[in-house]
Amino acid sequence: MPMYKYYGVFEKDVDGVSVSFPDLQGCLTCGDDMQEALAMAEDVLGGYLLLSEEDNEAIPAPSSPKEINKIPKGASLILIEVNTDDFKGL
């Protein structure tokens, strides 16, 4: 049961809420509101990590909040937890 926890940076903009994961290059998503952005963050994180596992790619260790230093003003840092077993077969 591979469990992962990564911090996402949630930024409100005119179109909704964008989400990026500083530790995972290219792991991005968005939502119309915070609730949708949280759900989308779980989906993109789970899918990204599952593909990394299946391709035997190195998965970087998650940073602590203190190590993440590129947080735009007004953005929120939110911990997202996923189990990649939940994404198999989707």
Query: Domain-by-domain residue ranges, the chain?
Result: 3-85
**Residue recorded with tokens 């949630």:** 10
**pTM, two decimal places:** 0.92
Q: What's CA 50's distance to the chain center, in Å?
A: 13
Residue 37 pLDDT:
98
Domain 3-85, classified CATH 2.60.120.920, yes or no: no
Q: How confident is the model at residue 64 (pLDDT cuts 50, 70, 90)?
A: very high
Measured CA to CA, the distance from residue 56 to residue 52 in angstroms comes to: 6
Average pLDDT over residues 68-81: 93
Distance CA 28, CA 8 (A): 9
At residue 2 the predicted structure's pLDDT band, cuts being 50, 70 and 90, is confident
